[in-house]
Chains A and B, each alone.
Chain A
Amino acid sequence: MIDPEARYLRTHEWAKKEGGGIFSVGLSSYAVEQLGDIVYMELPQPGDTLEQSGTFGVVESVKAASDLYAPLGGEVLEVNQVVVENPDLLKEDPYEEGWLIKIKASNPSEFEDLMDAKEYKHFLETEAE
């Protein structure tokens, strides 16, 4: 399942335009599936600044841990506490209810650097492990 609205990093994070230079960020359903049941998440604080492709948190399953990379640089506006408390949301609704953070992008054009849904689909089919 790939959200056609979102754009993607090779590390499977997605970003979606929320308007006004604000983007929501999450993890693709492919990545969530690979990790298995997620038991813990470490997310940044609102106000933290992120760099594009810099780490902004960690998701842990029972047998794996995976760093989260920021699709865009900017300031963290909001963190989804609901998903922190109920990680199953990531599996159930990775592109809507399962968003992780919202970012005020410092350079919204970074969005254009990301893979679009078609490219990400192709990436999954050819390269991703």
Chain B
Amino acid sequence: MTAAIEMVDVVDEPKAIEGRSPFVLALRRLRKDKVAMISLAVIVLIVLMAIFAPVFAAITGHPPNEQYRDIGLTPDGLPRGPNGTFWLGTDDLGRDILVRIAYGARVSLLVGVIATAITVAIGVVLGLAAGFLGGVVDTVLARLIDVVLSVPFLLVAIALVSVTGPSLTVTVLVIGFFSWASVARIVRGQVLSLREREFVEAARSLGAGDRRIMFVDVLPNVLAPVIVYTTLLIPVVIVTQATLSFLGLGLPPPTADWGGMISASQNYYTTAWWFILFPGLALLITTLAFNLFGDGVRDAFDPRADRT
């Protein structure tokens, strides 16, 4: 009986069928992924730490670049371990490590986001152009991609930074300049098959020009792999920036940044474990959170890849 009534109900009030775009479906899958959501929460915390870095300085009363050579160093001139005044200890110049980690987050996140954005923007535009326009444009761009991918990135990056002198702009530009090629290659590959599809022909027969077809019709179809690649690129960029700093080519002192802090701690790792541990943890937690989140994004946007 009840079954019959229910059936009648369904006929009477048909449930509105929602159109769910693949994007919405992917977001739903992502929201159910516990590891990805925890990672996202960690990322948000790090972002908050970066934004409110001055609050850390205000609470502890220690500006990031202030050197406490009296209370911040032992009588032998060594860093002091974690204590009531300096919660995470001090560095070789008697500066507060906690405050410097908070300020260092700004550098890592800023470079991570800006360099990734530049990389993806260049990669998408050039990849679209190469794949869609074909011909000479494609030949030239494909060779250019080969060249950039064959260059030993870190070596040339170090050489470039040492020639121009280290600065935030140079770091961002160097990373962007050498990373766009992988994005371009992915986009080009996708576009090559997309441009033969009927909807492109349909758009063309309606009188749409190349630029419109590229950006309005084709681009949305390559967004999924681009989003996945972007989330996984951020931690790579953050590590690259830290690596440059570690090699002494980061931001000019006294700016606090994680790679530079770890580099400075090298000479003290036998005496001051906190000096390498806390900046190292900050860097590791950040990259791990981004990687785990990126992994979740990949699963969500490409359900076939991991749910077999």
Q: Do A and B bind each other?
A: no
Residues of A within 8 A of B (CB): none
